[in-house]
Amino acid sequence: MEVLERPLTDLQHDFDLIKAVRELAKGPLADLADDIDRRGIYPKSILHRLGELGALKAHMAEPGKPADYGLAIAAMTEVSRVCGATGFMVWCHDVCGVYMEQSGNTALMGDVLIKHSSGQTLGATGMSNPMKTFAGIETFLLHAKKVDGGYVVNGTLPWVSNLGPDHYFGAVADIAVDGVVKSEIMFLVRCDAPGVELRNCPSFSAMEGTNTWAVRLTDYFVGAKEMIADPVRPFIGRIRAAFILLQTGMGLGVAQGAIDSMWTVERQLGHVNEFLDDRPDDLQAELDDLTARIMLLAKTPFGADKQFIIDVLDARAHASELALRAAQSALLHQGARGYLMTSEVQRRVRESHFVAIVTPAVKHLRKEIARLSAEEQPA
């Protein structure tokens, strides 16, 4: 298949890393993508390989190497361009690294974090429910009680992705006193610990290989070694932009993959495709502008200024909208061949839907932008 290469010259980053990720994505990952999507194959070897290449730690500071969120997003983009599911799991893992790094908890840093950053161990995130709770959309599903030496947590989280018997993920539980939520804790759940049960979820319309489970915690013990943040809200406020910015890699990648598929039929079908909206050159220009904007935002991933947060939320929303439009347009450009069950083009339509609904979904982003945009006045 003919794929028109996107030149690397627009990247200010580590070319070698992006080239290596691109090779991996176009080769072994592309071969697996359909199995990941529909047959539930979990691409463990791909994730480990991405770790070996250094694609999972670009956003982590190391001695002599500052954190580079732009590079992390660019790597995630290359993965998502070929397989949205794997791109999503890269985000799950990357953001778990942010929790650990920013926790200040030595038990989650040092060698533990090095193993995580290099993909030797794999992590994830169960933050959809707390993020929506903080936005006033849901209530906490996990509940903690203080006990000797820590907390015990009970409750069930639906749909936590990138899990495995030896994986771990960040989660939040509320602490109620006399039935009133007083505070929260954020902690690491180790899937192999006592009291953790992974339960099957029904099938989704795409991305079956993301190892997504409902997680039931029964008296799960959280000690000092598992603690990520207490109190939680200032911590979330601090990492919020980083959390959302990293996600943009998924949208950028899915959109780029869709544009790639439009070009593959251009010579043959250009004479009819010219009558379509959202042509590949227009979409590419919009995508390049958005990418440049996101790279700029990624220079200050821990910004907390109100206008900066609005910009980050809007960039994430724009990436989702562009992925939706590009995937839809790619299907119209390819016609029947893109509609085949084995076609990456129809798979990408479903992936783009995921990008637009995964927390924070487009509607949540807009609601939050509206909230932040409102003038503050006396009550």
Partner 1 sequence: MSASVAKTEAAGYFSDGPPLGKIAPSGGSVVREATSVGETPAWEIFICKACGLLYDESKGDEDSGLTAGTRFADIPDDWACPLCGVTKADFEIYVAEPVRQARSSTTKAPRANRRPGTVIVGAGRAGWQIAQTLRTQDTRMSITLVTSCNGDVYDKPLLSVAMARGITVDKLPRETGALAAQRLNIKLLANTDAIRITPASRQLRTSRGTLPYQHLVLAHGAEARSLPVFPPELCWRINHLRVYSKFRAALGMTPQRVAVVGAGLIGCELANDLALAGHSVTLLDIADRPLATSLKPEQSQQLLDAWTPLSLTFVGNVQVKHVAPSATLTGKENEKEIATECGRVFTVDHIVLAAGLQTPNALALSAGLAWNNGIDVHAETLATSVKGIYALGDCISIDGRINRYIEPIGRQAKTIAASITGGPPAPYALTRVPLRIKTSSLPFTV
| Size of interface with partner 1, in residues (CB under 8 A) | 43
Task: Say whether residue 377 binds partner 1 (CB under 8 A).
Answer: yes
Query: Which part of the chain contacts partner 1 (CB under 8 A), choosing from 22-30, 194-202, 232-240, 255-263?
Result: 194-202
Window 303-342: contact mask with partner 1 (x via CB under 8 A): ----x--xx--x--xx--x---------------------
Within residues 339-358, the interface with partner 1 by CB under 8 A covers 357
Task: Say whether residue 141 binds partner 1 (CB under 8 A).
Answer: yes
Task: Say whether residue 208 binds partner 1 (CB under 8 A).
Answer: yes
Question: According to CB under 8 A, which one of 44, 49, 132, 279 is a site residue for partner 1?
Answer: 132
Question: According to CB under 8 A, which one of 30, 41, 214, 332 is a site residue for partner 1?
Answer: 214
Task: Say whether residue 138 binds partner 1 (CB under 8 A).
Answer: yes
Q: Of 155 and 170, which CB lies nearer to partner 1 in the complex structure?
A: 155
Task: Say whether residue 373 binds partner 1 (CB under 8 A).
Answer: yes
With helix as H, strand as E and coil as C, how does the chain read? CCCCCCCHHHCCCCHHHHHHHHHHHHHHHHHHHHHHHHCCCCCHHHHHHHHHHCCCCCCCCECCECCCHHHHHHHHHHHHHHCHHHHHHHHHHHHHHHHHHHHCCHHHCHHHHHHHHCCCCCEEECCHHHHHHHCCCCCCCEEEEEECCEEEEEEEEEEECCCCCCCEEEEEEEEEECCEEEEEEEEEEECCCCCEEEECCCCCCCCHHHCCEEEEEEEEEECHHHEEECCCHHHHHHHHHHHHHHHHHHHHHHHHHHHHHHHHCHHHHHHHHCCCCCCHHHHHHHHHHHHHHHHHHCCCCCCCCHHHHHHHHHHHHHHHHHHHHHHHHHHHHHCHHHHCCCCHHHHHHHHHHHHHHCCCCHHHHHHHHHHHHCCCCCC
Whole-number minimum distance, CB 2 to partner 1, in Å?
A: 27
Task: Say whether residue 9 binds partner 1 (CB under 8 A).
Answer: no
Q: Of 64 and 165, which CB lies nearer to partner 1 in the complex structure?
A: 165
Site residues for partner 1 per CB under 8 A: 40, 129, 132, 137-139, 141, 155-159, 199-203, 208, 213-214, 216, 282, 285-286, 289, 307, 310-311, 314, 317-318, 321, 357, 366-367, 369-370, 373, 375-379
